[in-house]
Amino acid sequence: MIIAISFNEFAEKELNESADYYEFQVKGLGITFLAEVERSIKLIQQNPESFSPVLKVVRRKILRRFPYSIMFSFVDNSIRILAIANHKRRPYYWRGRN
């Protein structure tokens, strides 16, 4: 069964801004960041309930190599990416997103 994935508009903006930042720092690093996010989303899609719950329905997948987590909810066989959260930002800033 394929699980549908959607992005909160702010999460999509965070993803793009973070990739742009890394690409500006080192050519090719933004693409590496996007590849890591894509790899992580595939893992989430394969088994969303295997990741640690942070809040009632929100779970977290920590990225390798980058100081980010993918915050997501899994409800009714649908995954909603709520944030591409930088570990240096204020914790739970993404609360209230759906």
> Taking 90 as the threshold, does the pLDDT of residue 58 lie above it?
yes
The domain defined by 4-86 carries CATH number 3.30.2310.20: yes
Q: What number is the average pLDDT over the span 23-40?
A: 97
Q: What is the pLDDT of residue 7?
A: 96
Domain range summary for the chain, segments of one domain joined by +: 4-86
Q: Are 79 and 4 in contact (CB under 8 A)?
A: yes
Angle in degrees, CA 67, 46, 10, rounded to 5: 45
Which pair of structure tokens corresponds to residue 19? Answer: 């990739």
Q: What number is the average pLDDT over the span 28-37?
A: 98
> Taking 90 as the threshold, does the pLDDT of residue 67 lie above it?
yes
| pTM, to two decimals | 0.92
How does residue 89 score in pLDDT terms, banded at 50, 70 and 90? confident
